[in-house]
Amino acid sequence: MTRLLHTGDTHIGYQQYHSPERRQDFLRAFETVIEDAIELDVDAVVHSGDLFQDRRPDLQDIQGVVSALRRLRDASIPFLAIVGNHEEKRDQQWLDLLADLDLTHRLGSDPYTVGDISIYGLDYVPPTERDELEYDFIPANTEHAVLVAHGLFEPFEIGDWDTERLLSESNISLDALLLGDNHEPGTRKIDDTWLMYPGSTERASATEREKRGYNIIRSSNGDIEISRRTIETRRFVFVDVELNSGQGFAYARDRVREYDHTDAVTIITIEGEGEQITPGPLEEIALEEGALIARVNDRRELDETTDDMDVSFADPDAAVREQLKQMDLSTVSRDLDQVIRDSAIADSNVRDYAHQSIEEALDEGLSSLQIDDKTGDGSSSSEPEQVDTSGDSSDDGSNQQLSMGDYL
C-alpha cells in the first residue's frame, strides 16, 4: 500500500488583515502538515501549488519553508510540488531553488514513482493558453498514475478548465487528479478518474468556514482510496446577526458577547432589517474580549448600494479580487495590483518594479500588455470566493477520518 499526503494552497507569506500574527499562522499551518506527514510516515507529500502567497516571498517566509522541508527530508519523505498562479514567475521558480537544495522535486511530464503510483505535474496555466496544451506524459510501468495540477477544474461548480478534454487527450490513463487553487475541499468523479481538492491549510478568506486540512491518498487492492484529516488552526469566530425591525446595536452587541473571542479572528455578519450599525464599536467589543482581529460585514449596506454585486467586505482583499476579475486588465496590470495590495515590495520600490515589469512585457512582444480577447475578462488567475453560510461558529481543529461517501 502506498500513502500520499495531498496538500496545497498554503499561501505562506500572506499577511492577512495586515496582521503579522496571521502571517505566522499560514507558516504554522504548513509546519503542522509537515509534522503530521512525519508522524503518519507517509510515502510522500504532494503539494498542488501556491506554496507561497506571491512570487517575491520575504526571506523569513523562505527560511520557514526551508526549515520545515529539512525536517521532512531528514525523515526520508519526498516533497513533490508544482507551481501555482500566486507564486508563478517568468523565469526560474522558487521550487527550482528548493530543488537545488535537495528539498523538493518539481513535478512535470516525467513520472516520479512512489510505490505503485506514478506522479506527474502540471503547473498553473492561464485560460488563454490552455487550448494549446498537449497532455503528453512519459508512460511508466506502475499500477496507478495521478496528475497534480493547479486550477479550477470542471465538473466543480467553479470550474473553468475542460477536464474531459484533458482526460481524453492524455496519452496515459489517470486514476486521479490531485488539485489546488480551490480553497474548499471536495471531490468529484469523471468516469473512473477521481478529482480532489484538499482545500487551503489556513483561511485565506472569511468565506472559508470549513475546517482546514489535507487529504490522504491510498492505493489498496488496485483502487485509490481517499480520506481527509483536519488540522488545528487559529479559530475564526463567525457571529451571524439577523436583525428584525426595530433591532439595532444593542441586539448585535449582545450577540457578539455570547461568543468566546480569545485569540480568534472574529467575523460579524449583519443581515436582515433593523437599524443602521456603525462597525467600529462592535469590533471594539470583540477586541476588548480578546479577539486578535475583528471585522464587521454589514450585508444590508451592500444590498442598498448595488443590485449586481455579490461580494463580502469582511475580507477587503477578497472583495477587490472579485471585482478585478470583472475588469479588462492586462497581465501586467493584474501583477502590479497584486504586488501593491499585498505589500510584496516596499512602497519606495514600487516605481522601479512597475518600470521593470513594463520593460519585460515590451521585451516579450507586448503580449502581456494586451487584454485577453478570448474570455473578455482579462483574467489569468484568481482565487475563488465562495459564500458558505454553513458550519460551526468556531473551529476546534479536531481530526476526523471521512469515507468517500462523506465527500459526495
Mean pLDDT of 70-87: 94
* Residue 331 predicted with pLDDT over 60: no
Which amino acid is it at 26?
A: F
CB 43 within 8 A of CB 2: yes
Write down the residue that cell numbers 475564526 correspond to: 236
- Spatial CB neighbours of 66, under 8 Å, sequence gap ≥ 6: 98, 101, 103
Adjacency order of strands within the sheet including 2-7: 105-106, 79-81, 44-47, 2-7, 213-220, 223-230
Domain extents in the chain: 2-233, 236-307, 330-369
Q: Which CATH number fits domain 2-233: 3.40.1280.10, 3.30.559.30, 3.60.21.10, 3.40.50.300?
A: 3.60.21.10
Where does 181-247 have alpha helices with state H?
none
Q: What is the pTM of this model?
A: 0.74
Nearest to 2 by CA among 91, 75, 59, 78: 78
Model pLDDT, residue 361:
54
CA angle 173, 174, 178 (to 5 degrees): 170
Question: How does pLDDT run across 118-158, given as a tens digit for each residue?
Answer: 999 999 999 989 998 999 999 999 999 999 999 999 999 99
Known active-site residue 86 = yes
Cα distances (angstroms) measured from residue 184 to each of 3, 70, 384: 22, 28, 9
Q: How far apart are CA 230 and CA 36, in angstroms?
A: 11
Specify the higher pLDDT residue, 207 or 147.
Answer: 147
Catalytic residue among 6, 11, 47, 86: 86
Nearest to 10 by CA among 73, 81, 67, 72: 81
DSSP 79-122: EEE---TTT--SSS-HHHHHHHTTS-EE--SS-EEETTEEEEEE
Mean pLDDT of 173-182: 96
Instruction: Give backbone dihedrals phi and psi of 289, rounded to 5 degrees, phi first.
Output: -95, 15
Instruction: Quote the mean pLDDT of the chain.
Output: 82
**Exposed / middle / buried, residue 307 (Cβ in 10 Å: 0-12, 13-18, 19+):** exposed
